[in-house]
Homo-oligomer: A and B are copies of this chain.
Amino acid sequence: MVRVGVIGGGQLARMMIPAALTLGIELKVFAESEGSSAAMAATYVGDYANLEELTAFAHNCDVITFDHEHVPIAHLEALCAEGVRVYPPPGALALTHDKIVMRRALQHLGVAQPRWTVIESSTNRDQALGEVGGFPCVAKLPVGGYDGKGVRVIASWAEAEEWCALGPVLLEEKVDFRRELAQLGARRPSGEWVAWPVVETRQVNGVCSEVLAPAPGMSAEGGRQAESIASTIASAINVVGVLAVELFETADGRILVNELAMRPHNSGHVFTELSLTSQFEQHLRAVADFPLGAPELMQEFGVMANIFGRLDGHLARLAEEEFPGVKIHDYQKAPRLGRKVGHCVAVGSGVENTLSAALAARAILEGDNYDGQRGSS
């Protein structure tokens, strides 16, 4: 039996459990704390920043993969040097650790992305501003940001000074986008690549609120372009596992890369119900080097809506009573303002019906006292 070790005990590790059970894979989760979302599969609770603990854990696994991207790259390189299989490999994962490294790599690949530059103390700021089209533009901390954190639209240098004092800051053009998209696929060590159709992601306060799959009204050419961007990146940097590429679709129809994730991703949750193969199954297949599953859609259309703050059982039952076709996923996370604690999925034919079912179910789940906060950790 193949033993797959997952670093991190969050909802992504939790949602790998069903796929592992079906595939007959032994899942071993390295959790940060007792009572994690993936507690059922947690075989170790400790500190993933401690190389000794990581090494001891890895020696009981055939391959190591991730629930999150926070493990120091140097630790992963040390594991690889010892012969541990780490998927995605540290060299690929490094792109998700540092947005400047990512921009450079994508530029090298010739993949379309927003205009960008790096601000350091020695930088000629006027010239830099010119390179990204002037104010307003987007400042990003290269390291540690997620879900809208470490990202700021600035209209003056004053708004970036605090970050500039810390070190290099990534500056990007403020893209005039029509909407945001995400392209997901998975790659095996051999290079075999299987992609789902591109999806539309809707953000509120920089955090994904809903996903519509496939992206409504996407042209065949646009779909091919998104898929080609993702497969180009995956193969160039040797991703193994699921790759999620967050994209901008510009007002003038171009597709630009916004961010990368190399693991199952919030934008792919909809495929659990919608596709014959979920992203969790596909990720495990890829890292275990099993044949990838068929990504065909089981229904015409699907919508995923994130649930923030708290997931109340009583409200969930009310929502299910009214929408027996909507599937509510409970991550069993402690309530916290703006925290992602679950999601719901509706599938069917027709964008409007499906979207309104998912939104109406979420509205019931949010209850009367919903504070409106989406997106804080």
Contact = CB atoms under 8 A, between A and B. Distances in A.
A325 interface: yes
A292 to B, nearest CB: 7
Interface residues of A, number: 40
Contacts of A273: 276
B276 A347 contact: yes
A332 B18 contact: no
A interface, by DSSP: helix, strand, loop or mixed? mixed
B325 A24 contact: no
Interface in A324-357: 324-325, 327-332, 342, 347
A74 interface: no
B24 A313 contact: yes
Contacts of A23: 328, 330
B22 A332 contact: no
Contact of A332 (B1, B277, B324): B1
B347 A325 contact: no
A267 B271 CA distance: 26
A2 B325 CA distance: 21
A133 to B, nearest CB: 44
A293 B320 CA distance: 8
Contacts of A325: 276, 293-294, 296
Interface string A14-31: 110110011110000000
Contacts of A316: 24
A298 interface: yes
Contacts of A24: 311, 313, 316, 330-332, 342
A311 to B, nearest CB: 7
A327 B285 CA distance: 12
Interface in A309-328: 311, 313, 316-317, 320-321, 324-325, 327-328
A128 to B, nearest CB: 48
A4 to B, nearest CB: 14
B330 A22 contact: yes
A327 to B, nearest CB: 7
Looking at A17, A194, A299, A324, the one whose CB has the most chain B CB atoms below 10 A away is A324
Contacts of A294: 324-325
A40 B16 CA distance: 13
A31 to B, nearest CB: 14
A141 interface: no
Nearest to A290: B317
Nearest to A2: B313
Looking at A273, A321, A327, the one whose CB has the most chain B CB atoms below 10 A away is A327
B21 A17 contact: yes
Nearest to A15: B21
Interface string A170-207: 00000000000000000000000010000000000000
A41 interface: yes
Give the top 4 A-B pairs by smallest Cβ distance, nearest first: A24-B330, A18-B18, A294-B325, A298-B298
Interface of A: 1-2, 14-15, 17-18, 21-24, 40-41, 194, 273, 276-277, 290-294, 296, 298-299, 311, 313, 316-317, 320-321, 324-325, 327-332, 342, 347
